C-alpha cells in the first residue's frame, strides 16, 4: 500500500486486512479492517504503534519507504492489544536501537506478550508527559479502558493532531468507500460500548485541546467536520438516544412469534413511526443488532419460551446488552408460550442490571396470535410512538 501524507511531516504507514475472518474473534468485517500506524518525521523520528502480525512485513516496508534510509528514534505504543502491538518484536529486529515509548502499564503487558527481554531501550512516560521530536512535541494523555487499561492517546501541538488509539476507529479497510458512522457505531458499541465513562473522561480532556486532525488506529484519518464525529462519540458514550425509532428483535421457531413482531412493526409504520428496525436474532449479524439497540430509544424483545427459559439467540442478545451497560431506554416485551409462558419474566430478570429502563405492558401470545393479542399489539404500538 505504501504511505500517504497526513501533514507535511506526519505520514500514514498502516495496512489493510481483507483476510481476517472475525475481527477480535467475533466481528464480521465484510469490508476488511485497517490497522493504522504513522511516522512523524522531525529531528527525531517517531513511529506510532505497529500492526497485526500478519501484516508486519508490509508495514515495515511502508515504514522503510518513508524513512528512506534513516533510522527511527522512537516507537510509541499507545495500546497493547495485538491488532496494534503484535509487530513490536519484528520492528525491533530491524531497528534495535529505537526507544520504545509507553507508560507504566504498557511495559508489563509487553513483557507478558513478548517476554522480559523485549524493548531493552524504553522510555516510560507519565500522564501529561511529553516527548520532543524537534518541531513536534507529543503530549501523552492516558485513556484507561478506551479500550484497555494501558491505553494512552498522543497530541501533537504543532500540527494539532490527536493520535486517538482505538477512539474514532471503525471497521472497514481504507481501500473501500463506505459510510463512516455505520461501521464506526458497530465498532464502538461492540468493542468500547461498555466503557462509556472512560470515553466521556477522554472527551473532556480532548475538549481542552485544539484538534484539527484525528489519527485513529482503525479507519480513516479525520480531517474535516470533527464536531460531527465528536458529537456521535459523546452520544454513544453517554448512552443517549442517537436516532428516533423502534427496534424489534425477535427469536421465533415456527413463525408465530415472528408474526407478532412483524404485526407490531406494520402497526408502527402505519402509525407513522419514524423508523422501525425488525431483526431476526437467529439470522442477523449480532453486532449489528446490538448496535441498533443502542442507536434507537425504544426496543421490543419478542421471544418464545424455551426449556423454561428464552430462546438462546435472545439470551445472547440480552447478554450483549447488559455487558455493554445498556440503559436509558423504553423496553416492551412479547412472549410466546404454548403451556407455560416464561419469556417475559426471564427477559426482565436478565435486564435487571440495566439502569433507567421504562417498561411497557407485556403482550403474551399462547402459540398463535389472537384478536386480543392484535389489540394489545396495537396498544403497544401507540405506547411506542
Ligand atoms: Fe484496535 Fe483495542 O484494539
Model confidence pLDDT, tens digit, residues 127-167 = 999 999 999 999 999 999 999 999 999 999 999 999 999 99
pLDDT at 67: 97
Q: 55: which DSSP letter?
A: G
Query: Looking at residue 106, which CATH number applies to its domain?
Result: 3.60.15.10
Q: Which atom of ligand 1 is nearest to the CA of 148?
A: 2
Residues framing ligand 1 (Cβ under 6 A): 79, 81, 83-84, 147, 166, 217-218
State the pTM of this model: 0.96
Question: What is the percentage of the chain residues whose pLDDT exceeds 70?
Answer: 100
pLDDT at 295: 98
pLDDT at 94: 98
Residues 87 and 222 in one domain: yes
Q: Are strands 363-365 and 329-336 parallel, antiparallel or unpaired?
A: parallel
* Among candidate residues 49, 114, 52, the one with its CA nearest the CA of residue 86: 52
- Split at pLDDT 50, 70, 90, the class of 230 is very high
C-alpha–C-alpha distance, residues 108 and 121, integer Å: 14
Query: Looking at residue 274, which CATH number applies to its domain?
Result: 3.40.50.360
C-alpha–C-alpha distance, residues 162 and 206, integer Å: 8
Gap from CA of 345 to ligand 1 centroid (Å): 37
Gap from CA of 118 to ligand 1 centroid (Å): 21
Of 188, 222, 237, which one is at a domain's C-terminal end? 237
Give the up-direction half-sphere exposure of residue 210: CA atoms within 13 A in the CB hemisphere. Answer: 4
Residues 35 and 175 in one domain: yes
Residues 71 and 98 in one domain: yes
- 15 near 35, Cβ under 8 Å? yes
| Residue 125 in grid coordinates | 512516560
| Residue 376 in grid coordinates | 394489545
Classify 167 as helix, strand or coil. Answer: coil
Q: Which atom of ligand 1 is nearest to the CA of 169?
A: 1
Question: Which domain does 20 fall in, by range?
Answer: 4-237
C-alpha–C-alpha distance, residues 7 and 157, integer Å: 13
| Phi, psi (rounded to 5 degrees) for 228 | -60, -45
pLDDT at 1: 55
- Split at pLDDT 50, 70, 90, the class of 195 is very high
Place of cell 473501500: 176
Which residues are 140's β-sheet partners?
154
Gap from CA of 258 to ligand 1 centroid (Å): 36
Of 190, 205, 237, which one is at a domain's C-terminal end? 237
| Residue 53 in grid coordinates | 502480525
- 37 near 51, Cβ under 8 Å? yes
Residues 253 and 310 in one domain: yes
Q: How many folded domains does the chain comprise?
A: 2
Residue ID of nearest Cα to ligand 1 atom 3: 81
Gap from CA of 192 to ligand 1 centroid (Å): 9
Residues 264 and 320 in one domain: yes
- Section 336-344 average pLDDT: 97
- Split at pLDDT 50, 70, 90, the class of 364 is very high
Residues 96 and 192 in one domain: yes
Report pLDDT digits (tens) over 79-133.
Answer: 999 999 999 999 999 999 999 999 999 999 999 999 999 999 999 999 999 999 9
Average pLDDT value over all residues in the chain: 98
Residues 189 and 291 in one domain: no
Residues 185 and 296 in one domain: no
Amino acid at each position: 500500500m505504501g504511505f500517504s501524507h497526513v501533514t507535511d511531516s506526519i505520514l500514514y504507514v498502516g495496512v489493510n486486512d481483507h483476510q481476517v475472518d472475525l475481527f477480535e474473534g467475533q466481528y464480521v468485517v465484510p469490508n476488511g479492517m485497517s490497522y493504522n500506524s504513522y511516522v512523524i518525521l522531525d529531528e527525531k523520528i517517531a513511529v506510532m504503534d505497529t500492526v497485526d502480525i500478519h501484516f508486519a512485513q508490509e508495514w515495515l516496508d511502508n515504514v522503510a519507504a518513508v524513512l528512506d534510509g534513516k533510522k527511527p528514534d522512537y516507537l510509541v505504543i499507545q495500546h497493547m492489544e495485538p491488532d496494534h502491538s503484535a509487530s513490536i518484536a519484528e520492528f525491533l529486529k530491524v531497528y534495535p536501537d529505537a526507544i520504545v515509548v509507553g507508560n507504566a502499564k504498557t511495559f508489563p503487558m509487553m513483557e507478558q506478550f513478548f517476554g522480559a527481554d523485549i524493548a531493552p531501550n524504553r522510555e516510560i512516560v507519565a500522564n501529561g508527559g511529553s516527548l520532543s521530536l524537534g518541531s513536534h512535541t507529543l503530549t501523552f494523555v492516558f485513556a484507561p479502558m478506551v479500550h484497555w487499561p494501558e491505553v494512552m492517546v498522543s497530541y501533537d501541538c504543532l500540527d494539532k493532531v490527536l493520535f486517538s488509539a482505538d477512539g474514532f476507529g471503525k471497521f472497514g479497510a481504507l481501500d473501500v468507500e463506505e459510510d463512516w458512522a455505520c461501521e464506526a457505531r458497530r465498532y464502538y458499541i461492540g468493542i468500547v460500548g461498555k466503557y462509556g465513562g472512560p470515553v466521556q473522561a477522554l472527551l473532556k480532556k480532548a475538549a481542552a485541546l485544539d484538534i484539527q486532525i484525528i489519527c485513529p488506529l482503525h479507519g480513516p484519518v479525520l480531517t474535516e467536520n470533527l464536531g460531527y464525529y465528536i458529537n456521535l462519540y459523546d452520544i454513544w458514550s453517554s448512552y443517549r438516544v442517537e436516532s428516533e425509532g423502534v427496534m424489534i428483535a425477535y427469536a421465533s421457531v415456527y413463525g408465530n412469534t415472528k408474526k407478532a413482531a412483524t404485526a407490531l412493526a406494520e402497526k408502527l409504520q402505519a402509525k407513522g413511526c419514524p423508523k422501525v428496525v425488525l431483526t431476526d436474532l437467529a439470522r442477523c449479524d449480532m453486532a449489528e443488532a446490538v448496535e441498533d439497540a443502542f442507536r434507537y430509544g425504544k426496543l421490543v424483545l419478542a421471544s418464545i419460551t424455551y426449556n423454561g427459559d428464552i430462546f438462546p439467540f435472545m439470551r445472547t442478545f440480552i447478554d450483549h446488552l447488559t455487558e455493554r451497560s445498556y440503559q436509558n431506554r423504553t423496553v416492551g416485551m412479547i412472549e410466546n408460550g404454548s403451556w407455560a409462558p416464561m419469556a417475559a419474566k426471564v427477559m426482565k430478570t436478565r435486564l435487571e442490571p440495566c439502569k433507567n429502563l421504562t417498561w411497557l405492558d407485556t403482550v403474551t401470545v399462547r402459540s398463535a396470535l389472537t384478536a386480543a393479542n392484535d389489540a394489545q399489539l396495537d396498544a403497544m404500538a401507540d405506547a411506542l410512538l
